[in-house]
Amino acid sequence: MISRRAALGLMTTGLSALALSTRGAFALDYPTRPARFVVGFSAGGATDILARLVGQRLSERLGQQFFIENKPGAGNNIGTEAVATADPDGYTVLLVNPANFINSSLYANLDFNFMHDIGPVASFIRVPNVMTVAPGMPVKNVAEFIEYTKANPGKVNMASSGNGTSLHLSGELFMLMTGAKMLHVPYRGAAPAITDLMGNRVQVIFDNMPSIIQHIRSGSLRALAVTTAERSPQLPDVPTVAETVPGYEASALFGMGAPKKTPPEIVAKLNREINEILTEPNIKLRFAELGGDPLIASSDAFGAMMQAETDKWEKVVKAAGLRID
């Protein structure tokens, strides 16, 4: 005769197996309805373009629409909070971008914790910024720029697309590592900043490659360096900042995140599908146009990248004394 304790043990085991089986079947069927792919910026920018490229292919491969929901505001925080507080069922996902890593320490009173509330799904791409100078700047490389800036205190203005953006923080990191002091001039977006750079009203910008590369290729602006650890295939003759400033690296990492308790089977399915999408020739071509190559990795590996980026920018934010209440 089976004891009461043994019977209860068998029942618990059976229920656990049933739960695992049901959850696995649910993941196998996923998605059974449309999903929201939240982007914390307005339509039309590089972040939005990436989401639409991947979202369209996910829709086609999985048979349910991954529709892009643009929720701009508060430097990407409104969109991130919408995902952090959503049901963890795989039907709300986030376009993870550099603002997520920076805002974790830049903003004093967020109602969510990015690394605690958003789990990694899949990486998309890592894009360099480009250290680009105005036509009137009498420098040809990073070493000359540092020398000129130190010799002309208060005369070098660094443009960015706004306080706390990856453009701004890339410049702050450069100042911290070189001692070259620049005056930060924030704009409402990269386009007006580039206009003033071409007009010599500001002297340098660390801009995202997609929005600056056409001006570099046309010769209207001069690229001194890319900010990634390795040279970019899109600008193969442009050195890295690190070739002059050892250890410097400031790239823009993009990918997909989801509410933290999203079932691992769903995360694994999305990761597998996205990694397959990233191998497609058309996607590789479009990513190259945006300035980088597809970044294929496991969800855990992407999580490690997210943590490393968050930790790095926290040090820069604190060292530069930046804070938004």
pLDDT (tens digit, 9 = 90+) per residue, 53-80?
999 999 999 999 999 999 998 889 999 9
- Contact at 8 Å (CB) between 31 and 90? yes
Output the pLDDT for position 9.
54
Q: Is 20 exposed, middle or buried (0-12, 13-18, 19+ CB in 10 A)?
A: exposed
- What is the location of CATH 3.40.190.10 in the chain? 128-243
Nearest to 310 by CA among 115, 118, 79, 164: 115
- What is the location of CATH 3.40.190.150 in the chain? 31-127+251-320
Beta bridge mates, 186: 160
Intervals of the chain under pLDDT 70 = 1-27
**How do strand 157-160 and strand 35-39 relate by DSSP bridges?**
unpaired
pLDDT tens string 160-206: 988 888 999 999 999 999 999 999 999 888 889 999 999 999 999 99
Percent of the chain having pLDDT more than 70? 92
Output the pLDDT for position 53.
95
C-alpha span between 223 and 184 (Å, rounded): 19
Structure token pair of residue 4 = 């009461």
**222-225: Cβ within 8 A, 24+ apart:** 222/132, 222/133, 222/135, 222/137, 222/140, 223/130, 223/131, 223/132, 224/131, 224/132, 224/133, 224/139, 224/140, 224/141, 224/142, 224/145, 225/130, 225/131, 225/141, 225/142
The single-letter DSSP state of residue 190 is: H
Q: What are the distances in angstroms from CA 274 to CA 82, 182, 267? A: 22, 40, 10
Q: What is the mean pLDDT of the chain?
A: 91
C-alpha span between 54 and 49 (Å, rounded): 9
Neighbours of 15 (CB within 10 A): 10
Q: Which CATH superfamily is domain 31-127+251-320 in?
A: Bordetella uptake gene, domain 1 (3.40.190.150)
Q: Which CATH superfamily is domain 128-243 in?
A: Periplasmic binding protein-like II (3.40.190.10)
